[in-house]
Structure 1
Amino acid sequence: MTRFYLTYAVLFMIPFVLYGAFIYFSLGRAAVRESLTTKALGYLSVTGAALTVIIIVVLTNYSGYDADGTYTPAHLEDGKIVPGRIEPAVGDAAE
């Protein structure tokens, strides 16, 4: 679950890192703090949120799972944990 949240936190932070790197390398270290105005942080936050939402939509639509399949949750079988999986819908033969 931590990986899940870290993935989206990193996606959200990408615009901040790119902006900071751009300012640092183009104007110098002192200019980074001065350039982080409320307006700039607002734009970066909206951009980060939009990037995160776009990635979530793309990953959920193109993840490769069968939308019509039946989900079998993780369970114990002979003392071992069997991971959850999606069974293909009836009539869908894996070829």
Structure 2
Amino acid sequence: MIRIIFTQLILFLLPFLVYAGYLFLTNKMHRKAWIDAPRYWLVIAGLVVSVFGFLFMSQINNNPLGGTYVPAHMENGKLIPGQIKAPE
């Protein structure tokens, strides 16, 4: 769960980091540039990037829909990781 939260936080902050990189490369890295920053648009861009990140991660997830979670367990002295079994 912490990985998902951390990933979404990074995706949300990505537009702010790009803006900071732009200010750094154009030598405008001073306080007035941050005060006059287009914060509204940076927040909207961060939310859009974060939503697309959620959608992308849901599409690359190869767990079957309607499956049953089988937790990790020991079988013949060997650890079998948790998995989602497809419905029958």
- Cα drift, residue 61 of structure 1: 2.5
Between 1 and 2, higher relative CO (CA 8 Å, sep ≥ 6) is seen in: 2
- Cα drift, residue 56 of structure 1: 0.3
| Cα distance between partner residues in 1 of 2:17 and 2:37 | 16
Q: CA-to-partner distance for each residue in 1:4-32, whole Å, 9 max, x for gaps?
A: 221111111110000011011113332xx
Alignment of 1:10-89 (within 5 A): 10-30=10-30, 33-37=31-35, 40-72=38-70, 74=71, 77=74, 83-89=81-87
Structure 1 runs (4+) deviating above 3 angstroms are 75-78, 80-83
| Cα distance between partner residues in 2 of 1:49 and 1:66 | 28
| Cα distance between partner residues in 2 of 1:81 and 1:20 | 46
| Cα distance between partner residues in 1 of 2:47 and 2:57 | 15
| Cα distance between partner residues in 2 of 1:15 and 1:69 | 37
Number of paired residues? 87
Instruction: Give the TM-score, by structure 2 length.
Output: 0.76
5+ unaligned residues in a row in structure 1: which ranges? 91-95
Q: Residue 2 of structure 1 aligns with which residue?
A: 2
5+ unaligned residues in a row in structure 2: which ranges? none
- Cα drift, residue 81 of structure 1: 7.1
Instruction: Give the TM-score, by structure 1 length.
Output: 0.71
